[in-house]
Each structure stands twice: as structure tokens, then as C-alpha cells.
């Protein structure tokens, strides 16, 4: 029934017959179920990102990330990137699939430390390969930061642990619409990071220039300010707050102006503070608040994500300046944006 095969044994220096059975081959490498689940999950998650229009690469040298996602808007590649870790599982349970409860994923402290110190968005996806459904969490998110504090991830004790549990909520479903929203999140966060850095640099230069004696060379501040505005204008063009046509400067879009009129009417009901900012009037303050509200609502509708606070203020300043045509600097920047795109 079975084929006999001579096997050399160093102890006896002779051959003896054994029966080869399937069980007798257990010294051969085996493909574990975890590897199968992982590969199937990565393939499914990759497909979703690709349906969302992103270019996706699988990571060959795995240091915690399975996919590198490079997003684009139209045909223009974004400066931001998204890193994705995929956890493949079988049958998460009916209650979880129906949107109730949460499930823990286990993450190595070393991976957490690397992600927190990075500037790119990291997404962990839990993928049910049997039901072709996924759930996600962003890093860093507010919930994630709370979990970090609860587990004391910065402590020596936490670093010594093999893995730390982090919950993924059942209502955080991962699909193509979410992939689009995460792309916007990364895109806007990249703009906001650059704007914050530039504004900090401007503040530092201005502060030091105030203290500089006449013999010190004065660093020109204006280019840094214009670059910061330039980045904000690009973000507003992406969101549809501004619009431009060939040969003309960027201007407030007609759709945004309609939204602004609605928000301005709502702001008439908001009481004014007892002490107004110097040089402002109640009408101007209401107008500026309405612009801020409209910018935030436009961003949430277009991208599904909230604006960074500093960006929201700068958006309001730019729209206010364009509507009142009070700032030639802003118009110069918008003229430049009409000529070329800066990522």
C-alpha cells in the first residue's frame, strides 16, 4: 500500500526501511492558518484602497505596516502618505458584525512608538475574511491616545510587554467611503502640519528680529508668510471653498457664498461679547464667525473630517480678505495659484 524508502541513519551507518505517510513528512515547512488569513486580509484591504483611487504597495520588509497607501486628488498625487496594518481574523461574531461592542487588536509597543513619532497617518484594519467585512482605527486618534495613557505605553514596563490590546469599535466599519475620508484626513493634516511649522518659524523670526541690534542681518519674513497662505489656498481649492479658472485669480466659489449667506443669518442670533476685539464691530465679528462656520461645514461635507484649528482660522482670514478685497498680498498669492499648483 505504501512505498518503502531507504533512509540513512548516522547512528547505524546503514539503511533501514520506513513507511512514508503524510504524517511522516511533518518536518516539511507548513503554511499556517495565520499566514493564510493575513494574506487574504491584506489583499481585500488593498482592493478597497485601490477602489478609492489610491496607489498601494505591499511592504516586503514588515516593521509593523503591511501597506503603503499613496493617495491622490484628481490626477495629482498627494504629499501625504498612509501606512496600514492589517489584522486578518475569521468570524468576528454576530454582535460585532451588527454594530455592537468592540474588539481588541494586539499591537507591539515598538510599533506604537514608531507610529506616534511619525508624521504620517497610520490605520489599523481588522478584516473578517469569512464575511468580507472590516473595521478600523486611526493612529493617533483621541481614543487611541486614551488607550496609550491607560496602558502606560511610555513606561519601561509597557515596553517590555510583547503586545498591548487596543479596542476597535464595531461602528468603525472600513469601506471605500471611509478610505476616501481617511485620504482627506491625511491630505488636510499634511497641509496643517506645514502651515503650523511655517507660522512657528515666522513667529520665531519676528520675535528675534525685535530683539536684534542693527548690526544683525534681518531675515525676510514675508516669503514664509506667503508660503503659509499659499498652502492654505491650495487646501481651500481642494475643498471647493475657492475656485479658479485659467488666467484668472482664485476667488470664493459661488456654492460657498450661498453657504456663507445661510451661516451669516444664523450668526445674527449669536450674542456678542461685552468687549469686542480692538477695531472690530459687531457686524464684522458676526461676518467673520459666519465665514469660520461655513469653512468648517464645507470641509466636513467635502472630506468627512474636521479642520485643524489653525487652518480654520487662516481659512477665515483668507476668505474675509478676498471678499473685502482688503489684502493685495492675498490676491497676489491667489494669482500665483492660478498659474501653477504647489503640493
DSSP secondary structure of 291-307: HHHHHHHHHHHHHSSPP
The CA distance from 292 to 264, in Å, is: 10
Average pLDDT over residues 205-233: 72
Q: Report the pLDDT value the prediction gives residue 19, as an integer from 0 to 100.
A: 46
132-157: pLDDT as tens digits: 999 998 886 555 666 666 656 555 45
Provide the 3-class DSSP secondary structure of residue 185. helix
The CA distance from 69 to 122, in Å, is: 10
Torsion of CA 166, 170, 171, 173, to 10 degrees: 90
160-215: pLDDT as tens digits: 556 777 778 888 899 999 999 999 999 998 998 888 888 888 887 777 776 655 44
* pTM, rounded to two decimals: 0.76
Average pLDDT over residues 84-108: 74
- Lowest-confidence pick of 17-21, 85-89, 222-226: 17-21
The CA distance from 33 to 85, in Å, is: 18
Average pLDDT over residues 246-256: 83
Q: Are 188 and 305 contacting, i.e. CB atoms less than 8 angstroms apart?
A: yes
Please give the grid coordinates belonging to residue 49: 484602497
Question: What does the DSSP 8-state code read for residue 90?
Answer: S
**CB contact set of 25 (below 8 Å; sequence gap of 6+):** none
Provide the 3-class DSSP secondary structure of residue 113. helix
Alpha-carbon torsion (331, 333, 339, 343), positive or negative:
negative
Residue whose grid cell is 512608538: 113
Average pLDDT over residues 296-307: 89
pLDDT of 333 higher than 60: no
pLDDT of 69 higher than 60: yes
Q: Report the pLDDT value the prediction gives residue 328, as an integer from 0 to 100.
A: 45
Tell me the pLDDT band of 340, cut-offs 50, 70 and 90: very low
Torsion of CA 192, 198, 199, 202, to 10 degrees: 180
Q: Are 334 and 242 contacting, i.e. CB atoms less than 8 angstroms apart?
A: yes
Tell me the pLDDT band of 225, cut-offs 50, 70 and 90: confident
Amino acid at each position: 500500500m505504501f512505498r518503502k524508502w531507504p533512509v540513512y541513519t548516522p547512528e547505524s551507518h546503514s539503511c533501514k526501511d520506513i513507511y512514508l505517510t503524510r504524517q511522516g513528512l511533518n518536518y516539511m515547512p507548513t503554511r499556517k492558518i495565520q499566514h493564510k488569513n493575513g494574506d487574504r486580509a491584506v489583499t481585500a484591504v488593498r482592493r478597497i484602497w485601490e477602489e478609492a483611487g489610491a496607489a498601494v504597495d505591499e511592504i516586503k520588509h514588515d516593521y509593523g505596516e503591511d501597506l503603503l497607501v499613496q493617495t491622490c486628488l484628481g490626477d495629482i498625487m498627494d504629499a501625504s502618505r498612509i501606512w496600514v496594518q492589517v489584522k486578518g481574523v475569521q468570524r468576528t461574531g454576530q454582535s460585532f458584525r451588527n454594530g455592537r461592542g468592540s474588539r481588541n487588536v494586539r499591537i507591539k509597543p515598538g510599533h506604537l512608538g514608531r507610529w506616534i513619532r511619525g508624521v504620517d497617518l497610520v490605520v489599523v484594519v481588522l478584516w473578517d475574511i469569512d464575511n468580507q467585512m472590516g473595521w478600523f482605527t486611526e493612529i493617533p486618534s483621541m481614543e487611541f491616545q486614551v488607550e496609550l495613557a491607560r496602558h502606560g505605553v511610555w513606561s519601561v514596563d509597557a515596553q517590555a510587554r510583547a503586545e498591548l490590546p487596543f479596542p476597535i469599535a464595531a461602528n468603525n466599519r472600513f469601506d471605500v467611503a471611509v478610505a476616501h475620508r481617511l485620504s482627506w484626513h491625511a491630505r488636510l493634516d499634511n497641509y496643517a502640519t506645514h502651515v503650523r511649522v511655517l507660522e512657528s518659524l515666522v513667529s520665531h523670526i519676528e520675535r528675534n528680529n525685535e530683539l536684534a541690534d542693527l548690526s544683525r542681518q534681518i531675515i525676510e519674513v514675508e516669503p514664509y508668510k506667503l508660503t503659509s497662505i499659499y498652502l492654505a489656498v491650495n487646501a481651500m481649492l481642494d475643498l471647493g471653498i475657492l475656485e479658479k479658472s485659467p488666467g484668472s485669480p482664485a476667488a470664493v466659489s459661488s456654492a460657498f457664498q450661498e453657504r456663507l449667506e445661510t451661516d451669516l443669518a444664523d450668526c445674527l442670533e449669536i450674542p456678542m461679547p461685552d468687549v469686542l476685539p480692538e477695531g472690530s464691530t459687531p457686524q464684522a465679528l458676526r461676518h467673520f464667525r459666519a465665514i469660520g462656520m461655513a469653512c468648517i461645514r464645507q470641509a466636513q461635507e467635502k472630506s468627512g473630517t474636521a479642520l485643524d484649528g489653525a487652518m480654520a482660522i487662516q481659512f477665515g482670514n483668507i476668505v474675509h480678505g478676498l471678499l473685502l478685497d482688503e489684502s493685495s498680498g492675498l490676491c497676489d498669492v491667489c494669482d500665483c495659484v492660478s498659474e501653477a499648483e504647489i503640493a
